[in-house]
Structure formats: structure tokens, C-alpha cells
Chains A and B, each alone.
Chain A
Amino acid sequence: MGIIKTNPFTSRLEQFQWNNSNGFVDIQDSIYLWNPLVSANTYNSMWYGDSFMLPMIDSLRVLRTNIGVNFVAMGENAYSGLGLLSIKPEGSSTTQKEEEYNLVSQRMVPATTNILMKDPDLTRFDNIDYKPEVDSFINMNESLVKYCAATLGMPHAMFYDESASNRATMIGKIQLAIATTINPMREWINRSISPQSYDKWFRIMNYKDEKLLKKFRVIMKFDDLNIAEWFDKVEAVNEIDGRKQLSDAEYGKLMGLINYPGMVETDAETMPGGNSKNSMDIGGGNKLQLKKPKERIQEKSNL
């Protein structure tokens, strides 16, 4: 895209250049999205925005070189080893010695058996152990990846996370990032795209009904990915259910189970959930303990 045209009085976007061609596209005939989250305010880059790639470019270049060049060299040398072949030349003049060196070095084939027609007393081979700091190198690269993820304002748990102590920690990190980073971005996207699509279409279709247009607007509602499975929510939902029994529809909604009311029998016995809600004091120091579902199933199977 090329330059934009804005209204000189309102500064609103009116047209933008498409594919650097001469023609302009009206903003009414498009859905235009720019990135205001990292825009360069000093240079007045409204309607243009800026890239999320910018802060991570240096680390990406280092990573690319490390993976494409340094890791390869390190792997080759660490695996096959480095050697130094010293030869005492037999020629008398400097030219003859140089020719001898060149001949040997040209005919040597790396990573295979070589036969050298030379007196062993005149040659020496030394192994070179340069002790590469492979672990430190890997750590450095990992920190670069973490840095890249951090520039997006997200924990690297969103992509991979070996450091998370357990599943709950990882889910907690992701949920925190969704609340702090992803949801504000969704708000920006909704405010940009919805007036150009859903809300615009709604106003076109109901242009005669002014009362309706003044009452409502249409927004975009994003559905989260299923990060926490239903079994992650059982305990919490049962606690709510234990306080006062939920309907099947609401229980399924809280658990994230599709068509839960259709899964259960309508006249089935209900069981209050929660840790402390399955027993009640009936006076005289006696307690009525409700059976847990597992015990009930066990009883049925014994019968």
C-alpha cells in the first residue's frame, strides 16, 4: 500500500493507495486495519502504524546466524574433531616447500581416510580440543527466543514452556497473558474492524429504523481457545454447584461442555458438589454423609 488521504479538517482517513499504483481506494470500500499499538507518535504515524517485528529484529538476526552458521560449525567440529597436520618439507627452496604444502593441502579430503606418502618421522598430527561452551550457547539462544516473545508482551508459555512446574502454572501464565495483552488487542481490533463490517452492515440494512440505530451497535466478540479443559474446572464448578444447585444448562456452560443437558438424563438423581457440601449435620452429633459418585458406581457394579 502507498500513501493515504485524510480529511484536512477532521483528520479522518478517506482513501489509501493500493499496491503503490496511481489509484486510490475509498475507505468505504474496504476494511482497513492499522497497528496503533507501536506507532511512532513523534513522527505522526497515525493511520500507518508500525510493526511488532521491529524490536525483535536484532535478536532474530543473531538467532538466524547462530542456527544457520554457528550451530553447524560447532556441530561439525565438536563431532568430528579438529586436527592440525604438521609436515617437515623435503624441498630445498622456498618455492619447492610451498608447492609441497599446496599439494598436500589440496589432496587432503576432510572427514575420510587419507593416505599421505610421507615419512612418518617428518609428520605430526595434533588434536585440538577447543572446548565449545555448548550449554551456554544454547542458553543464550533460548534467552533470545524469550526476549522475542517478551517484546510481544507475552510469556513464552504461549509457545513452549519447559520451565513451568506443572500444567496449572502454564495455564495460569497463559490466562494472565490473555487478560493483560490479548484482550486489549481484541478491543483494538473490535473498535477498528467492527465499524467497517458488522456495524456498518447493520446500519445499512436498518437505515430506516432510526430508533434501532440509536439504541444498538454491533461489536465483534472473540471466543477464547480451549486452554483449560473441562477437568481443570471440575473442582471450581462443583464448589459453586455445592453452594446452590445449578441447572444442567448453566453447569455445562461453566464447564465448557457442549450440549451437556443433552448428555444427562433429565430425571437422574442429582448430587451436590463441593468438598464440604456432601455432608450435613442432622443433630445429636450425627452426620449424614452423601455418597460420592465413585462409591455409588462401585455399589452398582457389585450388585
Chain B
Amino acid sequence: MNKKKKEYTIHEIAKYIIRYPQFTDSQIALKFKINRTKVWRARQLTKHVKFSKKKEKGQSVISWEGFDGIKEEVVNPNTKRKEYRVAIAAGPITGKRTKFEPLLFGGVSDYDEDIINHWKPYMHLVVNDEKNGAPLSAAEITYRRNTKQRWYPRYFSNPAQSLDYITFEAHSRSTIGGPLLRSMVKFIVGRGFKPELELINPGEDSVENQKEIDSHDDIIRDLIQIENQLSFDKDGYLDISFQDKIASLILNAITFNRSALLCRYDEPITIDGKHYGTFQVPSHTPLQGKWEL
């Protein structure tokens, strides 16, 4: 029988880091059987949050003393227990501080400036020779690709790494690069888009083809109904239309390198009284990341 792996919370790991400062990330990851990214996140948490050493009954593990944020006491509807929701403060710099500190990196803001101003995006991946393991240059890879017929890579790699993304984002926000790409998307999307039927094997007579397409107008009408239901803000959250989401999707894909729109199937889509929920037509499409176009 398989023993179920215990899930450690990030707070438990953070407490362990404070208790044993001599341990490295790798050692802690090995101890908890988690990846180093989670340890790194826990370590960042320890820099911003003061942990109380003793946990009393009914008291939160984390003490928010000294944390620049708005603390709010809420009751978790599932567990019926009191929890703290913390919003990070935004606005003018308070107190004796002279500059903002980035939340995640835990360093000084000069770090970001260094990256934004001087980081040169380059590939981290190295393709090696299959015999001696020596790294190959781009020219050598191209040569092999052209000469060896059986040359086939076994994986795909992302040419943009985390620091590249920071650089792209900073330049799209603070330079003319962002407005240029946004106006390009405006020209691409134009006045919007709509579904249109196309014959897979069209005949020679274009008039007949068009007649056949026109006779199936109901398909397009149904698709537009789905789009309208996707564009409707059902939950009262801040939401944008499906067309704007696709425009943002394009903007993200050309600013960074890719983007995705997730589908949710919270309730069945209804067209002319017929439900399509069981066939996985999405009812919501939450877009993560950049919303504004």
C-alpha cells in the first residue's frame, strides 16, 4: 500500500528555515521532499514576515508585525476558522524609506534597474555533441541539421528565460516599445473578429460555394451566442469581453513569446434551450496576466 506523501505548507517550511539557518535550499528540499523553488519561496517569505517562535492555540503562525500592508480578519467559509487576509500597501513611500524594495527578489531596487538596463537576453540551453559531449555552436547545429538526415532534437526549449521576461515587461511598460506593440495589436484586431464558415473542399463555382455557406448561417449564429455568453460578466467580477481577451492574448504572445486563456466549465452553455455543458464548451475564460489593451 502506498503511503500518502505529507504535504507541507509554505509556513512550515519557512519556520524550519528560521530554525535551521545553516541548511541550504537543497538540503531543505531533500528533507521535505519538495523542489527548490518552493524552498526559495519560503525563504522569501521569511524576509518579509516575522514568525512568532511559539504557536499558541488559536493564534496564527505568522505575526504581521512590521509588515507594510493592510491586515484584515476574515472567516474561512470552508473551515469556519479565523484567518488573516493581507493586502500589500501601495501608494506613497511611508516612514524613513527612500525607495521601494521589490517584493520577490529581496534585494535592492538597483537589482531590477541592472536587469532592465543591462541584461542581454540569450539562450541558456546548450546543445551537445552526441559522441564527445562538447557544446555545439549555432552554426554547427544548423550544419548538422542540414547534413544529417536523422538529426532530430528530442525536446523543445524556451528561448526566453525569467530575466528576459522581466526585461521585456519593463520595456513594454516604460518605453515606446509597449505602445508600438499595442498599436500593432489594434491594427491586427481592427474592429473585431467574427466566426465565418469555410468549405474544406470548395467547388469551382464561387457563387454556388457562397450559397452553400449561406444556407448554414445557423452555425455562425450559435457560435456568436457562445461568444456572447463568454463575454457576459456572470459573477460580477471585473471581466472583459471575449474579443478583448483574444486581443490581450495576441499582445502577450508578441510582447513575451506565448500566452494562454484558460477555460472553465462552471455552468452549461445554453443555445436555443439546448445545454452544451457536458461537451465541454467553456462557460468562462479567465485570462491571467495582462488585461489592459
| A binding-site residues for B, Cβ under 8 Å | 1, 3-4, 6, 16, 18-20, 22, 25, 28-35, 39-40, 42-54, 56-57, 60-61, 63-64, 145, 148-149, 152, 154, 158-159, 177-178, 182, 185-186, 189, 193-194, 198, 201-202, 204-207, 212, 214-226
Identify the interface centre among B180, B198, B213, B250: most chain A CB within 10 Å of its CB: B180
Q: Compute how far the CA of A47 lies from the CA of B200 in the bound complex, rounded to whole angstroms.
A: 26
Contact between A158 and B183, CB atoms less than 8 A apart: yes
CA distance A225 to B271 in the complex (A): 31
Determine the main DSSP class of A at the interface with B: mixed
CA–CA, A219 and B250, complex, Å: 16
User: Given A53-B168, A216-B200: A64 and B226 within 8 A (CB)?
Assistant: no
Taking the closest CB of chain B, its distance from the CB of A212, in whole angstroms, is 8
What residues of chain B have their CB less than 8 Å away from a CB belonging to chain A?
A: 35, 37, 117, 121, 123, 125, 127, 138, 141-142, 145, 153, 155-160, 164, 167-168, 171-172, 174-177, 179-181, 183-184, 186-201, 212-213, 216, 219-220, 222-223, 226, 246, 249-250, 252-263, 271, 276, 279-282, 285, 288
A193-B246 in contact (CB<8A): yes
Q: Which residue of B lies closest to A193 (CB)?
A: B246
**Min CB distance, B220 to chain A, in Å?**
8
Contacts of B164 in A (CB 8 A): 51
Whether the Cβ atoms of A33 and B280 lie closer than 8 Å is no
Please give, as numbers and ranges, the residues of chain B lying within 8 Å of A52 by CB-CB distance.
Answer: 181, 254-255
B259/A33 in contact, CB under 8 A? yes
- Out of B37, B156, B219, name the residue touching A218 (CB < 8 Å): B219
B176 & A48 in contact (Cβ 8 Å cutoff): no
Cβ–Cβ < 8 Å partners of A22 in chain B: 35
| Distance between Cα atoms of A218 and B253 in the complex (Å) | 22
Rounded to whole Å, the gap between the CB of A195 and the closest CB of chain B is 12
The answer to whether B219 touches A216, judged by C-beta atoms less than 8 angstroms apart, is yes
The answer to whether B190 and A31 touch across the interface, beta carbons within 8 angstroms, is no
Q: How far is the CB of A48 from chain B (nearest CB, A)?
A: 4
Return A60 CB to nearest CB of chain B, in Å. 4
